[in-house]
Structure 1
């Protein structure tokens, strides 16, 4: 992650995008490093949010393209589990996308929303809001942490 931080704002965008895919990366580290190095906070928040949102939407797109057999075979998820998730999507709809920023479950949520063809505009809006709030909160934690030093 430090290598991406050396790339500055481009590194932040790349790490944010990749962190929203199945790759186990932490864009928060890059964001904190850039904040510590006095990069413009608003620019950092915008790039991190857009990068992470685009990464999440790419996971949504992969879900949109997926087929039942592919999911069951390569992800080893039983059809019953998929149907259970479908019930939750039917109940909560695109609002679920707000939680795509969460570790571990966020990526499968985005893929599932795409798989079940949930309204792309609403998913996009909710996902963007969730990811934006996450980065604003992280920036606040970073500033608070640096104030203690």
Structure 2
């Protein structure tokens, strides 16, 4: 069984990472970080891993933004498990920190609420995209380089 999983990961590695990263930023409370660590530990190049994870996670965030911009509060609460209180809290954070808050859409629990609030507030999509993509890429790059450094340390 472990051999089968290993073959699946190796043959569909980047596609699987894209799907996991996308879902992690939308409706499923999963993390894609373990997949990033797994691929790097299997010798995959850091740059493609970081870019695929970042793009998948960014597109997932765009999905949440779009649902927010369409004003679908019912969808946000039901499928994204983001409460009205979380949205109000992130609204206050936007009032305090502005668009820079979008750099932290990767943070567990509040990240999806930040993304949805950005949509609800109808933030300019170019500004949304810039900060979200930078934040997500920085997170995956840091994770990848920490993983690679740790692997080199223990060899």
How high is the TM-score relative to the length of structure 2? 0.81
Of the candidates 101, 126, 132, which is equivalent to residue 127 of structure 1?
132
8 Å Cα contact 1:19/1:26 also seen in 2:
yes
Structure 1: gaps of 5 or more residues: none
Q: Is 1:20 the counterpart of 2:19 in the alignment? A: no
| 1:114-143 CA distance string (max 9 Å, x none) | 011111110110000000000010011111
Give SS of 2:108's match.
coil
Of the candidates 63, 78, 84, which is equivalent to residue 77 of structure 1?
84
Q: Is 1:50 the counterpart of 2:37 in the alignment? A: no
Report 1:1-149 matches (<5 A): 5-6=9-10, 7-67=12-72, 70=74, 74=78, 76-77=83-84, 82=87, 85-149=90-154
Size of the aligned set, in residue pairs, is: 145
Shift in alpha-carbon separation, 1:89–1:19, aligned structure 2, 3 A: same
| 1:71-116 CA distance string (max 9 Å, x none) | 79755526xx755643432343322111001111101110111011
RMSD: 2.4
* Residue 50 of structure 1, CA deviation: 0.6
